[in-house]
Amino acid sequence: MTTKKFNTFEYAAHSEPCKSESAGVHYQDSFETSRGHVFLVVTDHGCPKGQPSELCDVVLQRVRYYMEHEPDERNADVTRNALIYTSGYVYQHYNKGGGATRGVSCLCLLYSDEQVFYSWIGDVGLYLFTGKRIHWLTWDEKHTVTGTKDDPDQKAKRAFLGEKPIIEPLSNYEDALKPVNGDTLILSAGNVGKCIHTRATKRILKDSMPLQTKVTRILRHTYPDTDPQSGALIILRFHAVSHTERILSTDKNDQDPLQVQQKKEVDEKHTKLNWKNTPVGYLKMIFAVLGLLAVLYFVYDLFIYDPHPPVSISIPTHEAGPEEAVHVPEEVAEEFSQEVVEPVALPQDISYTVRSGDTWGRIYSQFSVCSWFIRNHPPNTGRFGSQGGLIAGQRLQIPVKYSGDPQLNPHYYTEFTTDKVGSGCQNVDSSFLRSFEERAGN
């Protein structure tokens, strides 16, 4: 059992060992990178009974390697590219002898700057519990591959990691998940996902017990002694986050399509039985008809029937003579003729954590902000070396309102091009900054 608590979240994680030949092996891992915290669940569906999964170890190692040594990518792409890189590595490593790779499922989640980015492939689950409802975030029809042209009757099957040289994992892309205080994320592999929507699991999640106790009870509820299968579970709970409004990256179906269909069939059968064998059903139908008639009557009375139809009344027109013309003073006319122009809002600062090896040129290539503005930005006071150099680990506020990139500063980027600020910030000083702020209306 692994448990840790940080400034804005805490988590607990555990893996249940393999006990049967067909259960597969499920691993989980978590680690911290310069971008934020990374959480993984991996499943090797073909691992023999009682043996550790070398394939799961390789996947965890490759994902960790990529997340710790990735190029300068956006957070929205890094989890997806990590799975693509790992799948290609697994495919090349295990197919040199012409053999086939076993099915491997993987879910990779990155929590960075109070935002959640995730990608997945195969049979894994990610759920968001808001205290009242569980949202399933990793179900999509693209999970499955239908029959081929030569065999159209082939049963649908899930796509897995390492089956092909290049895969296309599912991801929330740029629609970052922004949780609020009290939200809980559940990462699962194995049969855990089938029990997430049960009342027993929801009662456990609502309880105020510690996270490690919740993980233990959910696994005990999912894997009793009579069902010797394995699984992995990670629970994250957020606190002290700055978001006041929850933003869901994708609001997927709350239940598996098969479970929904079965529940619907049971409900229909139970409903028909009640209508046939009890008079309560007939009373409900009568009240429903009466209610519908009442609604129709109200709609007719309010919007259709008019007891007082409009009467046309002709009003004689009167043309104003020259003596009745309205005189407007010139100063008043000029005041109202002037167009009121509101100052354009400047873009907000972007937080950036200095990494080892960063230079001012590298930061400029990313944000197009001259180093003079960053060093003299008030929130960054005291965050540089003795000569104004960068210090790894310091979190800087990048004032992109002084950026020459039209994507980051769409209204004033022309004020900060290289020909105006100089290739080495030699044209920038306090008077330059004061002149721009007066033009921008700040």
Distance of CA 15 to the CA centre of its chain: 25
Average pLDDT over residues 279-288: 85
Residue span of the structural domain in which 89 resides: 2-254
Quick one: 57 and 187 in the same domain? Answer: yes
For residue 8, being part of any structural domain is answered with yes
Q: pTM to 2 decimals?
A: 0.55
Give the chain's domain count: 2
192-242 tens-digit pLDDT: 777 888 888 889 999 999 999 999 888 887 665 545 456 889 999 999 999
Quick one: 232 and 363 in the same domain? Answer: no
CA separation, residue 354 to residues 362, 408, 438 (Å): 11, 19, 31
Per the model's pLDDT, the better-predicted residue between 17 and 200 turns out to be: 200
- Nearest CA to 120 out of 59, 73, 197 is that of 59
Residue after which a domain boundary falls, among 254, 288, 310:
254
For residue 270, being part of any structural domain is answered with no
Average pLDDT, the chain: 79
* Residue 95 pLDDT greater than 80, yes or no: no
For residue 330, being part of any structural domain is answered with no
* Residue 127 pLDDT greater than 90, yes or no: yes
Quick one: 249 and 358 in the same domain? Answer: no
- Lowest-pLDDT range of 80-89, 140-149, 255-264: 255-264
338-393 tens-digit pLDDT: 544 566 778 889 999 999 989 988 999 999 999 989 989 999 898 998 778 898 99
For residue 55, being part of any structural domain is answered with yes
Quick one: 34 and 165 in the same domain? Answer: yes
Quick one: 241 and 379 in the same domain? Answer: no
Quick one: 246 and 389 in the same domain? Answer: no
CATH number where 68 lies: 3.60.40.10
CA 31 – CA 233 distance, rounded (Å):
15
Average pLDDT over residues 122-129: 92
CA separation, residue 398 to residues 17, 331, 367 (Å): 47, 45, 8
Q: Are 281 and 274 in contact (CB under 8 A)?
A: yes
For residue 295, being part of any structural domain is answered with no
Quick one: 35 and 175 in the same domain? Answer: yes
For residue 159, being part of any structural domain is answered with yes
pLDDT bin (cut points 50, 70, 90) of residue 96 is low
Residue after which a domain boundary falls, among 203, 229, 254:
254
* Residue 293 pLDDT greater than 90, yes or no: yes
Quick one: 24 and 141 in the same domain? Answer: yes
Quick one: 363 and 222 in the same domain? Answer: no
For residue 64, being part of any structural domain is answered with yes
Torsion, Cα 169 170 171 173, to 10 degrees, reads 90
Q: In the 3-class helix/strand/coil scheme, how is 351-399 assigned residue by residue?
A: EEECCCCCCHHHHHHHHCECHHHHHCCHHHCCCCCCCCCCCCCCEEEEC
Residue after which a domain boundary falls, among 225, 254, 283:
254
Phi and psi torsions of 158, nearest 5°:
-80, 150
For position 82, what pLDDT does the model report? 93
For residue 274, being part of any structural domain is answered with no
